[in-house]
């Protein structure tokens, strides 16, 4: 009986490029999140002023930066992409709401990433649902 090698690479060239493109997109998003989180966690004056304007306190700046760091890390590991995308979606929805109703800023810069995160989360919805099912089994 000949041995068979199991590979995770798609045999279809189009699927292969789709996989590569999706991986690059995840890494680019992770880099942007790391940069955004770094500014918040380092206390860059612009971030301090922005969160003063939001009015929830500087703890919220730190919390947001930590959530962005977590999202970036979760996007890098195949087993946690769905959760990372869901967290990223929540962050960007919050940013969009703040931009529209508190800051009177352009909301496009937060709503487009929210849509991208929503698409990624939808793509990995089975991964997210498995986590919910695991929680139900433990009750």
8 domain residue, yes or no: no
- Domain limits for position 86: 14-137
Please state the domain count of the chain: 1
36-60 per-position pLDDT tens digit: 999 999 999 999 999 999 999 999 9
More confident residue, 6 or 60: 60
111 domain residue, yes or no: yes
2 domain residue, yes or no: no
105-122 per-position pLDDT tens digit: 899 999 999 999 999 999
| Structural tokens at position 65 | 């930066």
7 domain residue, yes or no: no
83 domain residue, yes or no: yes
């Amino acid at each position: 009986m000949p041995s068979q090698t199991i590979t995770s690479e798609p045999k279809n060239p189009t699927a292969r490029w789709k996989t590569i493109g999706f991986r690059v997109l995840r890494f680019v998003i992770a880099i942007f999140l790391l940069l955004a989180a770094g500014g918040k966690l380092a206390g860059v004056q612009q971030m301090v002023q922005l969160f003063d304007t939001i009015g929830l306190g500087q703890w919220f700046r730190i919390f947001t930066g930590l959530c962005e760091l977590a999202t970036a890390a979760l996007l890098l590991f195949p087993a946690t992409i769905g959760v990372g995308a869901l967290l990223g979606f929540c962050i960007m929805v919050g940013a969009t709401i703040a931009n529209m109703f508190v800051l009177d800023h352009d909301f496009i810069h937060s709503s487009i990433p929210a849509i991208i995160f929503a698409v990624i989360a939808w793509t990995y919805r089975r991964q997210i649902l498995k986590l919910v099912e695991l929680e139900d089994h433990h009750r």
